[in-house]
Amino acid sequence: MKKLLALALVLAMAFSLVACSGDKASEPANTDTEVVATGETEEVVINGITYNKATDMTQDKITLTYFHFDQDETVQYLANRFMEIYPNIKVITEYEPVGSANDTLLTLVAAGKTPDAIMISDADFALNNFLLQDISPYWNADKETQNLADTVNAAGLGTFMTSKRYAVPVKFFPTMMCADLSVFRTLNIDIPEQNWTWDEMINIIKSAKRDGSVDGTAYYGLGYYNRLDSLYGIASSQDIIGEFGFNGQTFNLGMWAVGEQQFSDLKLGGYVAPQRGVVAEEDALEDWLGDIDAWYGLSGHVALMSEAYWTYQNLWNTEEIKTNYPNLDIVPYVIPAVSAEDATKDHHAIATIDFGGVTSSCQHPREAYELLKFMSFGVDGWKTRLELYSDENYVNASGIALKHDSMPAPITKNQEIWDAYIKMYCEGMDEEHVQRWTNYFESVMQPIPYGWVSIAGYWTYCDQYFNSIGIHELVDKGTNKAADFADEATRKANYFHAAAMLDYFGPNGLNVLSAEEVATYEQLKADNS
């Protein structure tokens, strides 16, 4: 019996060792074959929409899998339309909510079921696991990529500061500062121009603070979804192309610290409305609106709100809210630039942009790129999206029209798309409001995404340094000044970024950095370690 037991254990060990050795990386997909990307197209008309069908795609019957955390019904509709345009390509969509997207995707990859095209929720996750392949040949041959929001190419969004392109913008949500004009009128505050400056915004926030003397309920200057430090960090200079003062190679948290301190001072000064879901602010919220679950956005007592883009169509522009809160008059403003000169023109402003790419094991990268483009920035994809958003009979699983389910904005500058989008978006608005929205949309085409989707090492830095010491909490409580952290935080950010660049793109990674770049990042890493 003992012999049998020993034999079984030996077998199990041998089995496991063999299994472990089998885990070694297999050969990557053969992407060295000559890339066929001519950019030639032919017209196909489906459902009254004219599509430009790429003619350099395979004629073989293939299957592509698209993994996403976009609005599922929309993606399924787009996939069906793509299959109508390219009947030889079968598209399988796999949806996972963004919160669990990384877990599911990595599980699929570990099981050898890597999708062909994916959305990514943070850059470090995708780069660390070498999920993305270089799609520069397709991107460079594609004329549409030259007609996107300026920063996509100018700030190298999706290239991660290399000479290659690994990701494309999939969903674009410009950030906005919403103003409730009814509050301005009640408090007799001048309504700002669209090209306002940062200081003007701060002055409005301060001047809108009132106790209950007006109508028995206090007024606040600011309600926030996005903290002002993230907004200020980008708005402070046109040289900044990423969070924390990132200039393309190094960070400088000095500017961020100014915005962080300004925001914390506003909070400590009582200019910021209490938030629901924050335990420390529950009492203040109950005293103010009589309910700990009340939302400042419906109070009619907050002048400016740093809201997410989707809040307007998901909430404020729904029939229910318009009926129950008729006094609200919400209009959008672009995040103001700090300098008056920058404010007069279209300037950098932070935005929520989700990226996607073609996976490194994909056997049909040309076709996967076309699918990814159709799902994201492509004009043809947007024509189909507009067909969906314009018809409120297309609803999600909860019966809500797709227009009101976190609809993104086009990142293409194609005028035809934008005209149709603004028409659809502003349906039912008066001329003044249509003009305000049109002005707003014209001012948001210099988006800078949050750091975790565009900068290598950013999320590792946040995970291992910034969030772990709780800088926001310390500054918000008044325990520390933001400037106290700026130097060390800058040093750490530079270190993590340099380490990540070498790790992901250096000689031991994808090996796409030049010798000079490698030396620069090694020096940066050494200087900040």
Partner 1 sequence: MTKKETTQSKPKKEKKVHIRMGSLERREALAGLTFMIPWFIGAAVFLAYPLITSFWYALNNIRITPMGKTFRFLGYGNFTQILLSDQQFLPDLVDYIISTLISVPVIVVFALLIAMMLNQKIKLKGFFRLIFFLPVIIVSGPILGMLNGQNAGSISALDTQAITQAISSVLPAIVAKPIGDVFSNMVTILWYSGVQILIFLSALQKINSSMYEAARIDGASDWECFWKITLPTIKPMIVLNLVYTTVFISNNDQNAIIVLIKAAMFSGTSEKGYGYAAAMAWLYSLVVLLLVGLFAGVMLIRKDPYEQEVKKAKRDMKKEKRQLKRMRRRQARNAKKYAKLETKTVA
Contact residues toward partner 1 (CB under 8 A) are 4-5, 8-9, 11-13, 15-17, 19-20, 23-29, 102-103, 106, 109-110, 114, 122-126, 128-131, 359-361, 459-460, 463-464, 468, 499-500, 503
In whole angstroms, what is the distance from residue 436 CA to residue 443 CA? 11
Report the C-alpha dihedral over residues 499, 503, 505, 508, rounded to 10 degrees: 140
* Minimum separation from the CB atom of position 341 to partner 1 (A): 38
Backbone φ, ψ for residue 233 (5° rounding) = -55, -35
288 token code pair: 């103010």
Helix (H, G, I), strand (E, B) or coil at 331: strand
Q: Which is nearer to partner 1, 108 or 444 (CB)?
A: 108
Q: Which is nearer to partner 1, 8 or 154 (CB)?
A: 8
DSSP at 212? T
Q: Which is nearer to partner 1, 30 or 213 (CB)?
A: 30
In whole angstroms, what is the distance from residue 382 CA to residue 379 CA? 5
Q: Which is nearer to partner 1, 27 or 319 (CB)?
A: 27
Supply the angle between the helices 253-268 and 228-235 in degrees, to the nearest 10.
Answer: 140
The owner of tokens 């609803």 is 395
* Minimum separation from the CB atom of position 24 to partner 1 (A): 6
- Taking residue 491's Cβ as centre, other Cβ atoms within 10 Å add up to 16
* Minimum separation from the CB atom of position 26 to partner 1 (A): 5
* Minimum separation from the CB atom of position 22 to partner 1 (A): 9
Is the CB of residue 94 less than 8 Å from the CB of residue 115? yes
* Minimum separation from the CB atom of position 506 to partner 1 (A): 12
Range list of H helices, 346-463? 365-375, 379-390, 415-425, 431-442, 451-454, 458-461
Q: Which is nearer to partner 1, 25 or 45 (CB)?
A: 25
In whole angstroms, what is the distance from residue 320 CA to residue 518 CA? 57
Q: Which is nearer to partner 1, 186 or 360 (CB)?
A: 360
Q: Which is nearer to partner 1, 380 or 503 (CB)?
A: 503
Measured in whole angstroms, the distance separating CA 24 from the mean position of its chain's CA atoms is: 34
User: What is the distance between the terminal CA atoms of the chain, rounded to a whole angstrom?
Assistant: 58
What beta strand segments (E) does 185-282 contain?
220-224
* Minimum separation from the CB atom of position 9 to partner 1 (A): 7
Q: Which is nearer to partner 1, 307 or 503 (CB)?
A: 503
Q: Which is nearer to partner 1, 105 or 353 (CB)?
A: 105
Question: Positive or negative, the Cα torsion across 300, 301, 305, 308?
Answer: negative
* Minimum separation from the CB atom of position 43 to partner 1 (A): 35
Q: Which is nearer to partner 1, 109 or 489 (CB)?
A: 109
* Minimum separation from the CB atom of position 257 to partner 1 (A): 22
With b for 16 or more beta-carbon neighbours within 10 A and e for fewer, the 141-154 pattern comes to: bbebbebbbebbee
* Minimum separation from the CB atom of position 503 to partner 1 (A): 5
The owner of tokens 């060295």 is 32
Q: Which is nearer to partner 1, 274 or 506 (CB)?
A: 506
Helix (H, G, I), strand (E, B) or coil at 143: helix
* Minimum separation from the CB atom of position 293 to partner 1 (A): 11
* Minimum separation from the CB atom of position 169 to partner 1 (A): 19
* Minimum separation from the CB atom of position 260 to partner 1 (A): 21
Is the CB of residue 481 less than 8 Å from the CB of residue 475? yes
Measured in whole angstroms, the distance separating CA 117 from the mean position of its chain's CA atoms is: 18
In whole angstroms, what is the distance from residue 431 CA to residue 72 CA? 33
Is the CB of residue 372 less than 8 Å from the CB of residue 39? no
Q: Which is nearer to partner 1, 311 or 460 (CB)?
A: 460
Helix (H, G, I), strand (E, B) or coil at 373: helix
* Minimum separation from the CB atom of position 208 to partner 1 (A): 33
Q: Which is nearer to partner 1, 24 or 61 (CB)?
A: 24
Q: Which residues contact 84 (CB under 8 A, 6 or more apart)?
A: 46
Alpha carbon separation from 12 to 17, 20, 46, 262 (Å, rounded): 9, 12, 58, 62
Q: Label residue 29 exposed, middle or buried (CB < 10 Å: 0-12, 13-18, 19+).
A: middle
